[in-house]
Amino acid sequence: MRTLPPRREPYWAAPLSRGRFVGLRKIDARRATWIARFRNEAGKQKYKALGNVTSQFGFDQAKTAAAEWFELQESGISATEVRTVVDACEAYVKSLILTNGAASGHDAELRLRRTVYKSELGRKQLSSVRITHVKNWRDGLKLKPANSNRTLTSLKAALNMAVANRQCVATLAIEWNEVQPLPNDKKRRTLFLDLNQRRHLLTHCGEGSFHDFMEAAMLTGARGGELADAKVSQFDARTGSMTFVGKTRLKVEPRTVPISVAAVALFKRLADGKKPDDLLFMRDESIIGASYCDVATRRYCGLAKIDQPIRWRSYDWGDMVRAAVTAADLPAATVLYTLRHSWITTALTSGMGTLDVARLAGTSLLMIERHYGHLVSDAARLRLENVEML
């Protein structure tokens, strides 16, 4: 190489295969770079600079890099479209917002921003991602198995979308899809609040919007996000029904279900004076000054001054539920979802059918049978004792 005179036209080696070449461009007496050349079926030539010639980046390494680029060209993917992992995640979030709604997209963005955007993995080109990179990233998060698996699922979804959009070759999906979730010994939810405990908890929720939010969760068994997203137009006072949009947003049909007399009274009061597009549940002025996160800028705003009611977010009610639970001297593991679990448990043990409960709660029969089947059996056994067979 040292004896070659500098020139712009690369010195091409023998073709690696038809239309695929690796060459050396001599810049001066000391510097040279590796160049790849690809000729497509139409006879058009494409070039790509692979990197400077060094002791660590010789001809063999240049051939490997060129082979990856040739594969991209064969797949119809141009070099300018090869993006980093962060780019793929950002594109995934935008797509999620369009298809599943803003709340779903923001949740994924917060998770990916915390774990991927500033990581070594995030800076990698998609074409260079390997199974060891993903495993090292996952293990470095040091999250609990459930949280680690949710984060890994979001990353895989972003990378798989890049494959579907032809932003990297399909064979790369093997690298990240081979990374399996961590073992998660997820136990059945057993924490249940009886009627007196639920009433006691409600007395420690103040008299403002937080009290209304918690009361609605107790009366309907709805998820926190379903209540936070609910608009006035989703409530029909005439028929005593409410339309909830499930956690998967636009992927499933919204469910319109009857609600109790107490829930109808609560929703009527909350809807009074509001427009159809207004949110039914809003944080009121009694909690202005609480810490919150600005969803638009993704910046944590600390003790922020908010001059108008704002939408409920999970990081709002989480701290408030914990404070109310502590004040009510209830089990420390009690969270908002405990109210949903308690609603389903109470409905089943009161004799309501599994199909009705699944429909009202917006879940599947399989989930009810898997997690609550023992309750159904116990309730059926008690009713059976009152049936005289002989």
Q: What is the CATH number of the domain that holds 259?
A: 1.10.443
The reply to whether 264 falls in a domain is yes
Same domain for 236 and 310, yes or no, is: yes
Same domain for 218 and 286, yes or no, is: yes
Angle between helices 261-271 and 209-220 in degrees, nearest 10: 150
Same domain for 205 and 146, yes or no, is: no
171 C-beta neighbours (distance < 10 Å), count: 10
The reply to whether 292 falls in a domain is yes
186 torsion bin: left (phi>0), alpha (psi -120 to 50), beta (else): beta
The reply to whether 354 falls in a domain is no
Q: Which amino acid is at 113?
A: R
Same domain for 297 and 233, yes or no, is: yes
Same domain for 91 and 208, yes or no, is: no
Same domain for 98 and 33, yes or no, is: no
Same domain for 143 and 61, yes or no, is: no
Query: Which CATH number do you get for residue 114?
Result: 1.10.150
Q: In the listed set 329, 345, 366, which residue is the last one of a domain according to the structure?
A: 329
pLDDT tens across the length of the chain (390 residues)? 667 888 888 889 888 888 899 999 998 888 899 999 988 777 888 888 888 989 888 998 888 888 877 876 776 655 455 478 998 898 888 888 877 767 677 888 888 999 999 999 999 988 889 999 999 999 998 888 888 898 999 999 999 988 877 777 777 788 888 888 888 655 556 788 999 999 999 999 988 899 999 999 999 999 998 999 899 999 999 999 999 987 544 445 789 999 999 999 999 999 999 999 999 998 875 444 444 444 333 334 444 444 556 778 776 788 889 999 999 999 999 999 999 999 999 998 888 888 999 999 998 888 888 888 777 677 677 766 777 676
Q: Give the predicted TM-score (pTM) of the model.
A: 0.57
How many folded domains does the chain comprise?
3
The reply to whether 61 falls in a domain is yes
Domain that residue 128 falls in: 85-177
The reply to whether 376 falls in a domain is no
Same domain for 55 and 161, yes or no, is: no
Same domain for 134 and 233, yes or no, is: no
Same domain for 267 and 325, yes or no, is: yes
Same domain for 207 and 159, yes or no, is: no
The reply to whether 358 falls in a domain is no
Q: Can you give the three-state secondary structure of the chain, one letter per residue? A: CCCCCCCCCCEECCCCECCEEEEEEECCCCCEEEEEEEECCCCCEEEEEEEECCCCCCHHHHHHHHHHHHHHHHCCCCHHHCCEHHHHHHHHHHHHHHHHCHHHHHHHHHHHHHHCCCCCCCCCEHHHCCHHHHHHHHHHHCCCHHHHHHHHHHHHHHHHHHHHCCCCCHHHHHHHHCCCCCCCCCCCCCCCCCHHHHHHHHCCCCCCHHHHHHHHHHHHCCCHHHHHHCEHHHEECCCCEEEECCCCHHHCCCEEEECCHHHHHHHHHHHCCCCCCCECCCECHHHCCCEEEECCCCEEEEECCCCCCECCCHHHHHHHHHHHHHHCCCCCCCCHHHHHHHHHHHHHHCCCCHHHHHHHHCCCHHHHHHHHHHHHHHHHHHHHHCCCCC
The Cα 31–Cα 255 span in angstroms is 67
Looking up tokens 């962060």 gives 86
Q: In the listed set 150, 177, 204, which residue is the last one of a domain according to the structure?
A: 177
The Cα 289–Cα 13 span in angstroms is 69
Q: In the listed set 110, 142, 177, which residue is the last one of a domain according to the structure?
A: 177
Same domain for 117 and 54, yes or no, is: no
Cβ burial 296-316 (10 Å sphere, 16+ → b, else e): eeeeeeeeeeeeebbebbeeb
The reply to whether 339 falls in a domain is no
The Cα 34–Cα 57 span in angstroms is 9
The reply to whether 186 falls in a domain is no
